[in-house]
Amino acid sequence: MSARLADIAAAAGVSKATVSRVINGTRGVASDTRASVFAALDALGYERPSRLRPRATNLVGLITPELDNPIFPAMAQVVGQALTRLGCTPVLATQSPGGSTEDELTELLVERGVSGMIFMSGLHADTTADTGRYDRLREQGVPFVLVNGYSPAVSAPFVSCDDRAAMALAVTHLTALGHVRIGLALGPARYVPVQRKAEGFQKAVQERLGLPPPESQRLVRHSLFTLEGGQAAAAALLDRGCTALVCASDMMALGAIRCARQRGLAVPEDVSVVGFDDSPLVAFTDPPLTTIRQPVRAMGQVAVEALMEELCGTSAPHTEFVIMPELVVRGSTSAAPKDRPAPKGRPASGKRTAPQE
């Protein structure tokens, strides 16, 4: 190794220490000096470490969670189409339970020479995850954009749906229909979008129904982002007397509908259900699902544009681009059932309140 360093140093006209710093990716080396070392490596026939190899300027990696949730392939399609229109080649890498992790997929794509990456609902959304992995990726010279899940510890462009506004839309819709017992079914509490949905929901029911914070917190149930998770969360919320359920994904909403039917309740006559995402085909379920439409097309386009700015050297703002969702009313919500006992308790500001447990 010392002999090789000496050869490279002599060819590049620099010291062995400088060659070592370049090969190890140490900061503080002038770009001209770094280029001289690279040229010497190539001229002498030495293979560059994978992190130092020239990147394919038209190759962009996209890492998604499992594709069981229809919203992820929908987002991947939007991003892929936007990249293709710009002359880039998207490379899709998907996580799966028991399969490759986000870190393993990132390493694989970097070794393949991608010029940039887009992470969709990745570890950046997990408040318990180590964000140092993204710092290391930036040190390798690979720009990236993060979708859904903001972390102030990561310097990068973020693109998110406005989860708080989404919950306000759902609660406003349901209270307008006369519901005063509204529950929220969510995924694990460690995720940023989940925390924001919980905050938006509790604020909305406090404002619309006059509920105190302890009572609004009892209307929130955490589970898994699956059909079974929605079913389990719905069971707990129905036990608390809810006549309307807001779910953090369309898959959870379908689980909530299953739970209601297993109890002999009709949707929407006995229980109204609101989903989140507006996944493909939920307009054709029985009943068609009222949902909050995540602005997938706008989010994907903004993510691609931000990455292109990074790749072109005009760094996009390292902040969060927040995009408004839309309420799509279909057949799974209707007026609150009239045959339920009226809630007890004194209304706040002239508004009805949910019953105490």
Question: What pLDDT is stored for residue 223 in this prediction?
Answer: 97
Other residues' Cβ atoms within 10 Å of the Cβ of residue 341: 7
User: Residue 140: what pLDDT?
Assistant: 86
Edge-to-edge strand ranges of the sheet holding 144-147? 89-94, 56-64, 114-120, 144-147, 158-161, 320-323
What is the value of pTM for the model shown?
0.79
pLDDT tens digits, the chain, 357 residues: what are they? 555 788 888 888 888 888 888 877 676 778 778 778 878 887 887 766 655 555 555 899 999 988 888 899 999 999 999 999 999 999 999 987 778 899 999 999 998 889 999 999 999 999 999 999 999 998 888 999 999 999 999 999 999 999 999 999 999 999 999 999 999 999 999 999 999 999 999 999 999 999 999 999 999 999 999 999 999 999 999 999 999 999 999 999 999 999 999 999 999 999 999 999 999 889 999 999 999 999 999 999 999 999 999 888 777 788 999 999 999 999 999 999 985 544 333 333 334 444 333
Instruction: Give the closest residue to 167 by CA, choosing from 207, 137, 119.
Output: 207
Cα dihedral 277/278/279/284 (nearest 10) = 150
Structure confidence at residue 52 (pLDDT): 54
Q: Which CATH superfamily is domain 2-52 in?
A: lambda repressor-like DNA-binding domains (1.10.260.40)
Fold of the domain spanning 163-294: Rossmann fold (3.40.50)
Residue 30 confidence (pLDDT): 81
User: Residues 41, 46, 49, 53: is their CA dihedral positive or negative?
Assistant: positive
Identify the CATH class of 56-161+296-324: alpha beta
The domain limits of the chain are 2-52, 56-161+296-324, 163-294
Tally of CB atoms within 10 A around 265: 16
Q: pLDDT at position 348, please?
A: 37
Residues 6+ positions from 157 with CB-CB distance below 8 Å: 145, 146, 303, 306, 307, 310, 316, 317, 318, 319, 321
Residues 6 or more apart whose CB falls under 8 angstroms from that of 61 comprise: 90, 91, 93, 105, 106, 109, 112, 114, 116, 117, 118
Domains 2-52 and 56-161+296-324 in one fold: no
pLDDT in the model for residue 25: 67
For residue 2, what pLDDT is reported?
Answer: 52
Two structure tokens written together for 138:
């930036």
